[in-house]
Amino acid sequence: MDPPGSIDGRRHGRLRRGPARPTLRAMATRITPPTPLPPASDPRPKVFLAGSIDQGRAEPWQARVHEALGSVDAWLFDPRRDAWDPTWPQDPAFAPFREQVHWELDALDRADVIAMYFAPASVAPVTLLEMGLYAASGRLVVGCPDAYWRSGNVRLVAERYHVPCVPTLEALVQLVVTRIAGAAP
For residue 134, the domain's CATH number is 3.40.50.450
Examine residue 142 and state whether it is found in any structural domain, yes or no.
yes
Is residue 77 within 8 Å of 50, Cβ to Cβ? no
Examine residue 84 and state whether it is found in any structural domain, yes or no.
yes
Examine residue 19 and state whether it is found in any structural domain, yes or no.
no
Examine residue 77 and state whether it is found in any structural domain, yes or no.
yes
Examine residue 33 and state whether it is found in any structural domain, yes or no.
yes
Q: What is the mean pLDDT of residues 1-30?
A: 46
Q: Which of 3, 7, 53 is nearest to 33 (CA)?
A: 53
**pLDDT 10s digits, 119-152:** 999 999 999 999 999 999 999 999 999 999 999 9
Examine residue 15 and state whether it is found in any structural domain, yes or no.
no
Residue 37 pLDDT > 70, yes or no?
A: yes
Least confident interval from 30-39, 61-70, 94-103, 156-165: 61-70
Structure pTM? 0.84
Examine residue 2 and state whether it is found in any structural domain, yes or no.
no
Q: b/e map of 82-118 (b: 16 or more CB within 10 Å)?
A: eebeeeeeeeeeeeeeeebeebbeebbebbbbbbbbb
Residue range of the domain that includes 151? 25-183
Examine residue 16 and state whether it is found in any structural domain, yes or no.
no
Q: In the chain, at which residue ranges do the beta strands (DSSP E only) sit? A: 10-11, 14-15, 29-31, 46-51, 75-77, 113-117, 140-143, 165-166
Number of structural domains (the chain) is 1
